[in-house]
Amino acid sequence: MRFNAFAFAPLLLLSCTFTRFDVEACQTSADCRDALGPGNVCLASGFCEPATLDSRCSVIWPEDGDFSNRIIIGNLGALGRESHLARARALLLAVKDASDAGGLEGKSFAMISCDYGQNDDDIGEASELATYLRDVYGVSAIVGPMSSATVAGVYEEIGQTVLLISPSATSGALTDLEPAPSDESPGTLWRTAPTDPQQGAVIAADVLRRGVSNLGILAQSGPYGEGLSMNVVDELQGMLEPEVLIYRSAAQLSERIAEFGGSEVEEILVISSEEDELVSFVNVVARDSNFDMKRFFFADGAATRTFATAVEAAGIGDRLRGTRPTDTDTPVFTIYATRFRQEFADTDPTDVSFLAQAYDASWLALYATAWAQYNEPDLGPRSLARGLRRISSGANISIQPSNWPEVVEAFQDGASIDLSGASGPLDYSPETEELTSGAVSVWRVESGAIVTIQEGS
């Protein structure tokens, strides 16, 4: 199922094409955007024409689809999935609230969201859509993609021509994709989530604390699954030697499950970014007596309401636990959660992993644009990235709609700020442009909900 913009109810959102009657000579599509606004392209005839909105994309904001005097922020996700749709909604809140708070120098913001399908790791389609957003709508900042493999693929395809801010790509391997950053040459790949080395340390500590003596690891092929499994193995430091099985297809996943069913492992750590694979695993082991005495541990990709519902139906909640980024107990988180519930009554912000990180990522795209507006020659991705190097020191400002004018004023003065987000402090290392902190909690499923049982460390 492809993304349906009307799933964003209660807002009425549009997917449309635009009709214009302006005629402009051009050499590039950038000429058309400068003359007529975003969404206009240069044809082989040498004249501008409105582009047809790709069927995989929807104009989420503004409601009337008018891009006049607006700066467009892009979004990429597998939007038929509950978790990705919820993260897109978090972006909508930021775009809408920053526009309502005054926008930027007479301009408001807009949002186009593009769906790269049910497969979270469809790198080719995600790269194609990122290129489309850049070339047709002049988008410089994209929130997404969501998985480590897709982020790596899109980055390698379009290089540093778009600023990517992922709220949920956690692989430690992503740090090495870019050369060492600096103010002169900032990186254009940023994240608001704790990295897998941090999660691996929490998983290993929990396993050792509970005295697990025979651990199996079932991991999805790719930087997330294989990377996190190795992080866990490294953290165990020979105190426990888990059996690691990697799968590369649905058929191979079935084989790996059967292998563990016939083994002596007492607990299986499952690592996958694919929600359908995780639900399938739960349904299989719940019906197979070979797993009746085994326990299960799931990484952060499983912390969704859909997964919790499947666990409850399967009746194995008492044998299952997992990890996810910690929801902070701060006024900033409370304000964000209240705002989210106000707009989207059908989803609780604590039901979906990386939702606070998505909210923060959305505001970072807007803050980066504000910095570039007042301190850079253009609103290109490098200019925006330089702005993100100005959010970890200075006067402390929390991410909330009412503070937008304060951020704008600070950037008008060329001052750095120290941001506190819904997900926690947004302190980035200037050497790596990665977060220097980020808590990971342990959870279990109770009454069909994800419930924290050990606060993050």
Q: What does the alpha-carbon distance between residue 418 and residue 172 come to, in Å, rounded to a whole number?
A: 24
95 and 366 in contact (C-beta within 8 Å)?
yes
Cis status, amide bond into 10, omega within 30 of 0:
yes
Sign of CA dihedral 381, 386, 392, 397: negative
Residue found by looking up tokens 């007479």 in the block: 106
Q: Is the pLDDT of residue 17 over 50?
A: no
Dig out the tokens for 442 from the structure.
């342990």
Q: Is the pLDDT of residue 291 over 90?
A: yes
Contact partners, residue 159, CB within 8 Å, separation at least 6: none
Q: Is 221 helix (H, G, I), strand (E, B) or coil?
A: coil
Q: Is the pLDDT of residue 56 over 70?
A: yes
Closest CA to 343 of 331, 353, 355, 354: 355
Helix axis angle for 275-287 and 305-314, nearest 10°, is 10
| Residue 207: per-residue pLDDT | 98
Query: pTM (2 decimals)?
Result: 0.91
Whole-number average pLDDT of the chain: 92
149 and 224 in contact (C-beta within 8 Å)?
yes
Q: What does the alpha-carbon distance between residue 381 and residue 161 come to, in Å, rounded to a whole number?
A: 6
**Cβ count within 10 A of residue 19:** 6
Q: Is the pLDDT of residue 4 over 90?
A: no
| Residue 14: per-residue pLDDT | 38
Q: Is the pLDDT of residue 9 over 90?
A: no
Which residue segments constitute the domains of the chain, with CATH numbers given? 196-327+439-454 (3.40.50.2300)
209-220: average pLDDT: 97
In order of 17, 31, 32, 36, 103, the CA distances from 43 in angstroms are: 17, 11, 10, 14, 32
| Residue 122: per-residue pLDDT | 74
37-52: average pLDDT: 91
Q: Is the pLDDT of residue 18 over 80?
A: no
Label residue 456 by pLDDT band (50, 70, 90). low
Q: Is the pLDDT of residue 294 over 90?
A: yes
Lowest-pLDDT range of 20-34, 61-75, 127-141, 295-309: 20-34
